[in-house]
Structure 1
Amino acid sequence: MGKLTPEAILDAIRRLAQAGELEVSSTDVIRATHGSSATVRRHLDALCSSGQLTRSGQARAVRYRLAGVAATVQTATREAPSAVLHPVWSLDAVELGRKLDAPLAARDPVTYRREFVEDYVPNESWLMPQALAEELYRAGRLREQQPAGTYARKVLEQLLIDLSWSSSRLEGNRYTLLATEELFRRGTAGSDADAVMLLNHKTAIEFLVDAVPLQGLSAALIQNLHAVLMQDLLADTDALGTIRKKLVNISDTVYVPTQVPAVLEEMLEIILAKARLIKNPVEAAFFLWVNLAYLQPFEDGNKRTSRLAANIPLMLYNCAPLSFLDVDPHDYAQAMLGVYEFRDVSRAVDLFAWSWRRSMKKYVVVMESMGAPNPLRLRYREHLTEAIGLVVLDRKSAQAAMEKLGLTEDQAPGFPAMLLEELKKLEVFNCARYRLTLTATQAWIDASRPY
């Protein structure tokens, strides 16, 4: 990128204003332009002196806004609350957008370049700017130490709707958010392919929340994720979860993915191996999202698999889930095309950071709305796990389990009723919180839930 100019500073502030940020700090401008602190502040002072910007506040509270046009932008924003929202694009992302706006005939065909992954060294290389990844991790992680997957479980009901609907909408799904909620309450799809897509997303998210804390990130997990997402949507059931052996062409791009199954399998393993080594879960999530989509390892459903897979590192480190709320399909397509055709992640970075911040705010509110945890449940948390383990694994009766642990009503008031209630609600998709395997839980359910 060339030398930072006052015009570039003004352009960045205009884009921030169009996104609804009418007053910005110097830090906001530095982030939008990738300029140095000293250069940005020097240009801001000059633009204020020339009357093109106005300044308010003091010290760290100093804010800048465009002179003259600010009121117009504010009015337009206020009158159009339902307008499509977009990230504030960095200068690099704007330049990439110009390249992608060129007609297909003017862009050179390209294919998969394995060095995009092979040259990446975990914790030394960064696809996302390191400072941004660290900032996002600090903002989005659960503060207290909890078992992996706790954050996702706490907001699961809302996450199922948000991520299922947002991801499906990016695939052209026609269901509204309200219709999606109704579908999930009803639970049956009939012959509606859009409904199948949504229900598959719901099942896939439940699968991840259950399996990730136990299995971590593995090829088997990703392949099972794909199989669940694409169930009843692929004509060839042999293609579910398997590395593709068919040619794949992507519309509206000059990118042609590699068509060699051995390369696809090898690169998938390399991607997952490197992602497991990345210490910052935000960078790991971004790395998975970008690289799974770029590789296109499956016959279909690669983008939706990459979106859900991006949540795996976030679950493992108890960060807010990424649900792609309010992402415009054109913005998403441009972010992917930048990677496909130019191996340029600038638009993907802006989109990811913007979307995750929106998700983060949503789930903080969801967590706050739940209020304080039930003190009785906190008191008996470990005891509940032990008792349910005795019932499910050792096939003891609930009464025998309570007597063995010294948790009868006389010894632990309120515990027996809580145990019986939890045994009624125990299912394969929620058993991991009691450190139970899917197989053991299913066997207990198949035996008619003896307790």
Structure 2
Amino acid sequence: MKPTPANINYEIGVICNTLQTYSYGATIEDIEKSTGLSLQRRTLLRRLTKMIAQGLVESNGRPGATFYQLVQQVPYYSPGVFGNVLHDESTPSIPLTQEGMDVLRRISQPITMRKPVGYNTDFLVSYRPNIDSYLSAIELEKLAGLGKTTAINQLPGTYAKEILQRLLIDLSWNSSRLEDNTYSLLDTHLLIADGKTADNKSVLESQMILNHKYAIQFLVQSPYDIKFDRFTITNLHAILADNLLDNEARGRLRTIMVGIGASVYTPLTIPQQVEEMFNIILAKVNAIKNPFEQAFFLMVHLPYLQPFDDVNKRVSRLAANISLNQHNLSPLSFVEVDRDMYLKGTLGVYELNRVDLLKDVFMWAYERSAARYATIRQTVKAPALFKFRYTREIHSLITHIVSNAMTIQQANDYIKQASKQFPLKDQQKFMEYVDTELLSLNDNTFAMYFIPPTAYEQWKKKWGKL
């Protein structure tokens, strides 16, 4: 049988993932053994030849002793891999399990090839808290190690309050970005800190950011009142939906039919059933003992049920932080999470009742988020290749901004203008890296940019730092 383009793309994705583990290249025998693909040698060679033509792989050596190596650390879902799921090389890699890759392959098929499905009540009802678990014991142990903070034995909510200003910006921006909001990180800082809306941005985008700010404050400021209960979840929705939905729809369980764009999934339509499943979700999440399993359980089941008219995924992302806050664990702020991969993971739950891809995204996202807030790092992290490529330009820009004591608005405009010299696909990522470096700059790091102390102090006053 002739292989379909989807199958070929899937095989190339598996080969890419395998070559990620061979820093100095792999022989054809290594690839055959490590991929687990049932391909004849000549077919595998054709796939490698295609990857070389796509610029993903290069070959070195001589006939009979050829090594194949990734041209660079490309993402696990790369250009030319999985059909329409195209991402440029600046997109951070999310390591996918074989199960996650299978979900991605199936959910990336044209919508006409996917079977229409409705809400499966057994998917929720059959879940047994503390007997069943979406996260394995090994995964839970890894998350616990990543999430440990200096406030682990203090009163609930202590750690989130300590990092609240940074959390407001990070989580508001990243969660809104996953909704296709075009605010930059510095735009978000200006809006949250100073109430200044960005030029050329819609009222809807500004409102979305501010709603996130108020919702995060709601969760953090009264940790003893915040629980997995109807009061918390409905009020969280009301805050996130403020001025975005009709007043009657804020915090109210849905009584209308809703559809899911670009999906064959249809949620429940009967209000009484929505109410019943919502109550079961609350009962089960409260019965779960592990805070990470609680967080992921809500990310799976709140969007799947669609209990509100809209804004359901936003509710799930912020509600996932409730248990982490209560246990003084590092928050989940969705740092650098790719929007398309997150949505594909959610579609995997909707259409297949499979959590594998969303779990891969969750695990990777938490590792990135925890690293953002960690005060002590036990190991040296692998350098980000995108940042490495633009190190000189990033450093030069930061030096200029700080040395000239630019205001936040001036810096924002200057960064946007400077980014235009780079390829279009890199501009947004470049701005994000510079924004992040500026927001992270402190008394212990400014000297690495060769900034005089007097200039740094002047800049710090301009930024009300921070």
Query: Which bin holds the TM-score, normalised by the shorter protein?
Result: 0.5 to 0.7
Does 2:366 match 1:356? yes
Match for residue 337 of structure 1? 347
What residue identity is the alignment partner of 2:111?
A: L
Match for residue 421 of structure 1? none
What residue identity is the alignment partner of 1:337?
A: L
Of 135, 141, 144 in structure 1, the residue corresponding to residue 142 of structure 2 is: 135
Query: Comparing 285-294 with 207-216, which one deviates more in the overlay?
Result: 207-216
Match for residue 15 of structure 1? 17
Identity %: 39
What residue identity is the alignment partner of 2:305?
A: L
Kindly tell me: are residues 367 and 135 of structure 1, through their superposed partners in 2, closer, same or farther at Cα, counting changes over 3 Å? closer
For the 8 Å contact 1:137–1:280, the answer to whether it is kept is no
Match for residue 113 of structure 1? 120
Match for residue 407 of structure 2? none
**C-alpha distance in 1 between matches for 2:376 and 2:206:** 26
Match for residue 325 of structure 1? 335
- Tell me the CA shift for residue 129 of structure 1: 2.3
For the 8 Å contact 2:74–2:93, the answer to whether it is kept is no
Of 126, 136, 142 in structure 1, the residue corresponding to residue 133 of structure 2 is: 126
**C-alpha distance in 2 between matches for 1:188 and 1:280:** 40
Kindly tell me: are residues 259 and 73 of structure 1, through their superposed partners in 2, closer, same or farther at Cα, counting changes over 3 Å? same
Does 2:278 match 1:268? yes
What residue identity is the alignment partner of 2:297?
A: F
Map 1:426-445 → 2, pairs under 5 A: none
Map 1:62-73 → 2, pairs under 5 A: 68-70=67-69, 72-73=71-72
**C-alpha distance in 1 between matches for 2:124 and 2:336:** 29
**C-alpha distance in 2 between matches for 1:300 and 1:229:** 10
For the 8 Å contact 2:75–2:93, the answer to whether it is kept is no
RMSD (CA atoms): 3.4
For the 8 Å contact 1:166–1:326, the answer to whether it is kept is yes
TM-score (norm 2): 0.63
Give the match's secondary structure for 1:68: strand
Match for residue 157 of structure 1? 165
Of 176, 180, 186 in structure 2, the residue corresponding to residue 168 of structure 1 is: 176
**C-alpha distance in 1 between matches for 2:242 and 2:276:** 25
**C-alpha distance in 2 between matches for 1:97 and 1:279:** 30
**C-alpha distance in 1 between matches for 2:166 and 2:89:** 21
- Tell me the CA shift for residue 17 of structure 1: 5.5
**C-alpha distance in 2 between matches for 1:197 and 1:22:** 43
- Tell me the CA shift for residue 71 of structure 1: 6.6
- Tell me the CA shift for residue 290 of structure 1: 0.9
**C-alpha distance in 1 between matches for 2:167 and 2:216:** 8
**C-alpha distance in 2 between matches for 1:16 and 1:133:** 25
Unmatched runs of 5 consecutive residues or more in structure 2: 1-9, 25-29, 37-59, 61-65, 77-86, 379-466
Of 220, 225, 230 in structure 1, the residue corresponding to residue 241 of structure 2 is: 230
What residue identity is the alignment partner of 2:240?
A: L
- Tell me the CA shift for residue 22 of structure 1: 5.9
Give the match's secondary structure for 1:73: coil
Map 1:383-422 → 2, pairs under 5 A: none
Kindly tell me: are residues 288 and 226 of structure 1, through their superposed partners in 2, closer, same or farther at Cα, counting changes over 3 Å? same
Kindly tell me: are residues 75 and 281 of structure 1, through their superposed partners in 2, closer, same or farther at Cα, counting changes over 3 Å? closer
Give the match's secondary structure for 2:336: coil
Match for residue 259 of structure 1? 269
- Tell me the CA shift for residue 92 of structure 1: 1.1
Kindly tell me: are residues 220 and 103 of structure 1, through their superposed partners in 2, closer, same or farther at Cα, counting changes over 3 Å? same
Unmatched runs of 5 consecutive residues or more in structure 1: 1-7, 25-39, 47-65, 369-451
Counting matched residue pairs gives: 324
Deviations 1:332-355 (A, max 9, x none): 110000000000111001000000
For the 8 Å contact 1:137–1:281, the answer to whether it is kept is no
Match for residue 194 of structure 1? 205
What residue identity is the alignment partner of 1:212?
A: P
Match for residue 86 of structure 1? 93
- Tell me the CA shift for residue 81 of structure 1: 11
Does 2:187 match 1:179? yes
What residue identity is the alignment partner of 2:269?
A: Q
Give the match's secondary structure for 1:214: coil
Deviations 1:244-302 (A, max 9, x none): 11111111000000011111111111111111121111111000111101010000100
Does 2:291 match 1:281? yes
For the 8 Å contact 2:259–2:266, the answer to whether it is kept is yes
**C-alpha distance in 1 between matches for 2:375 and 2:327:** 20
**C-alpha distance in 1 between matches for 2:127 and 2:143:** 21
Deviations 1:193-218 (A, max 9, x none): 11010000001001000233333221
Larger Rg: 1
**C-alpha distance in 1 between matches for 2:191 and 2:255:** 34
**C-alpha distance in 1 between matches for 2:376 and 2:238:** 30
What residue identity is the alignment partner of 1:136?
A: L
**C-alpha distance in 1 between matches for 2:275 and 2:370:** 33
**C-alpha distance in 2 between matches for 1:272 and 1:83:** 39
Deviations 1:42-75 (A, max 9, x none): x67x9xxxxxxxxxxxxxxxxxxx9834473259
For the 8 Å contact 2:74–2:89, the answer to whether it is kept is no
TM-score (norm 1): 0.65
**C-alpha distance in 1 between matches for 2:204 and 2:192:** 15
Give the match's secondary structure for 1:310: helix
Kindly tell me: are residues 253 and 81 of structure 1, through their superposed partners in 2, closer, same or farther at Cα, counting changes over 3 Å? closer
For the 8 Å contact 1:254–1:341, the answer to whether it is kept is yes
Query: Comparing 8-17 with 119-128, which one deviates more in the overlay?
Result: 8-17
**C-alpha distance in 1 between matches for 2:70 and 2:290:** 41
**C-alpha distance in 1 between matches for 2:342 and 2:310:** 17
- Tell me the CA shift for residue 316 of structure 1: 1.2
**C-alpha distance in 2 between matches for 1:23 and 1:119:** 44
Deviations 1:412-440 (A, max 9, x none): xxxxxxxxxxxxxxxxxxxxxxxxxxxxx
